[in-house]
Every structure is written in structure tokens, then in C-alpha cells.
Amino acid sequence: MKERLGALLARYGYALAVLAIAVSTAVFLLGRTHFAKGQWALLYLLIVVLVAAASGTGPALLAAVQKAVGDYHAARAPLYPLDAIKRLGYLDEVDTIECKLDLMGAPALTEEQVKLEEQRKADGKRPLTRSPALIFKAGEKYSLRTQTVNVTRRSEKFNPFLARTEDVEHSGQELAIYISDGIADPTDKESKLCEYVFMDVKIKEDKSTAVQVGKKQKWASTDTVTIDFTLQQLAAHFVIPEVPDVATTNPEGYRKNLDALAELEKITEALSA
């Protein structure tokens, strides 16, 4: 009997890991008002250890990963519903995005055009004018990735000690969103898809601001990032995934905290009266 039970646990260990986390989460949700988060973590750890003892390290690892993912989604939930612009910060969790409204823009340069533009820049000539074309079509999905880029802005500031105006450089980092003009194949090392950069409109329109690090095309010789579209265009032309807030992910706990705040307000008003 013992050998048979051991064989069943070894055979269905991964199913046991999924079932154990699902059942324990359901039980914890029913009693979440009586457990602190630290107690939740200890109980989950006990379940992972039991799964490891019964079925091996593989299913236990799966149970631990499921627990970590559950904790992450509980912690990432915003305190209030977010509009489309604020939800852009969560796009680093997706690999594709759907276009809902056609977006026109200047098409990306080919390898030959990039070299020609660099030569014109070296010669002090103006860049070539590119006619707008349909870049993203409504109803189609496109590959997406995010990257932190360096942003440098130059300005002037009066120095009262020297009684003169000095040049000041401000540097920091911003999130850049790259969207390809198709679905990228991770196994295709010779992909010819072009990426278009989306960043805040203030950065795009400020001529004194330079954005660096991250190449638009692999053959480009410069690390300067050219901003093609704004975040406002991204929110208007693409389907931005919803991000459930705490009132949605934990309605009972949210209501309990609101009641506690209301009680504190009553006490504060009573003390100040």
C-alpha cells in the first residue's frame, strides 16, 4: 500500500503541487481577516515542504513558483483604478500589444538610408524628409519590449555668486517602450522587423533633451534613441491591458481597511472637538 501511494505521488506530483496551492489559497482567502501576511508565508512554506516530501523537489519548486507569482500579483495591485496612461507602466509584463486605431508615422530607415543620413549629418546637411505611412494597423498585434534609457537635458541657470548664467546638465532615466512593426520570432536571428520608440511627449518635443542607450536598428552606429511616437499616442491607438486594483483583487480586505480609516477619523474628530 505504501509503495503504491508513493508511486501515485511520484506520478501525479505536479498535479498535487497545483492542487495544494489552489486549495490552500482558497482556504486562506476565506480566513484572510484572521491571518497576518507573515503567517500566510509560513503556511505556504509548510505546504511547499510537504509537497517536496511527498512528491520530490520538482513539484515543490512548481508550488513555490506559484506561491511567488500569487504574492507578486497581490503586491502589484494599485490602490485605485488607473487610466490608460498610468497603466503603461505595467506593459513590461506583456510581450505583444494590439492596435485599436490606425497609426501613421514616418517609416523606419533601411540600412542604406541610415548610412546616408549619417553622411548627411556629417556634411552638415538636413535629414531627408520621410512621407507619413501606415505603421500600425487596427486589429493587428505587434511585439513589444521596454527598456530604461538615459535622458540628458541641458538648460541655463543664473549663478548669483558669479553673477552670470551658466549651462546646467540634468540627467536621469526614463522608460522607453519599443513596438515592432510585426510579431518578432525569437528564433530568427536575422529578423528585419523595425522597432518604433514611444516616450513622453515632453521629452520628444524638447529639443534640448537627448535620449541615449539602446539602438533602434542593429546596424545603426550611434546609441542615440530617436523617439518616433509619444506615450499619449500609444494610449490612444493601442489596447492597454487593465490592471485590477486592490478593491478588485481583495474586496473584503479593502473594505476592512476603509472601515478602519473611518473609525480613525471618528476618533480624531472626537479628540479635536
Domain membership of residue 220 (yes or no) is yes
Do 8 and 113 have their domain in common? no
Domain membership of residue 232 (yes or no) is yes
Domain membership of residue 82 (yes or no) is no
Question: How far apart are alpha carbons 150 and 173 in whole angstroms?
Answer: 5
Do 62 and 164 have their domain in common? no
Do 47 and 134 have their domain in common? no
Would you state the cell numbers that stand for residue 109, as one nine-digit string?
530607415
Tell me the pTM. Answer: 0.63
The mean pLDDT of 248-257, rounded to a whole number, is 81
Do 151 and 200 have their domain in common? yes
Alpha carbons within 13 angstroms on the beta-carbon side of residue 48 total: 17
3-state secondary structure 61-93: HHHHHHHHHHHHHHHHCCCCCCCHHHHHHHHHH
pLDDT at 138: 95
Q: Give the pLDDT confidence of 33-51 residue by residue, as tens digits.
A: 555 544 555 565 566 556 5
Do 106 and 199 have their domain in common? yes
Q: Give the pLDDT confidence of 85-137 residue by residue, as tens digits.
A: 999 988 988 899 999 999 998 887 766 777 777 777 777 777 767 778 899 99
Do 170 and 227 have their domain in common? yes
| Domain end position, chosen among 24, 43, 76 | 76
Do 106 and 228 have their domain in common? yes
Domain membership of residue 122 (yes or no) is yes
Q: Residue 52 above 80 pLDDT?
A: no
Closest CA to 234 of 130, 109, 133, 83: 83
Do 226 and 265 have their domain in common? no
How far, rounded to the nearest angstrom, does the alpha carbon of residue 39 sit from its chain's CA centroid?
30
Do 62 and 181 have their domain in common? no
| Domain end position, chosen among 41, 76, 111 | 76
Closest CA to 24 of 1, 7, 49: 49
Domain membership of residue 142 (yes or no) is yes
Do 93 and 72 have their domain in common? no
Q: Residue 209 above 80 pLDDT?
A: no
14, 62 in Cβ contact below 8 A? yes
Residues 7-28 as b/e (b if ≥16 CB within 10 A, e otherwise) read eebeeebbebbeebbeebbeeb
Alpha carbons within 13 angstroms on the beta-carbon side of residue 224 total: 9
Question: How far apart are alpha carbons 145 and 197 in whole angstroms?
Answer: 10
Q: Which helix (H) or strand (E) holds 143?
A: strand 141-159
Domain total of the chain: 3
208, 153 in Cβ contact below 8 A? yes
Backbone dihedral angles phi then psi of residue 134, each to the nearest 5 degrees: -75, 115
Do 10 and 124 have their domain in common? no
Do 229 and 250 have their domain in common? no
Q: What is the DSSP letter of 185?
A: -
70, 35 in Cβ contact below 8 A? no
Q: Residue 233 above 70 pLDDT?
A: yes
Domain membership of residue 81 (yes or no) is no
Domain extent, residue 21, equals: 2-76
pLDDT at 87: 92
For the beta carbon of residue 63, count every other beta carbon within 10 angstroms: 27
Domain membership of residue 83 (yes or no) is no
Domain membership of residue 114 (yes or no) is yes
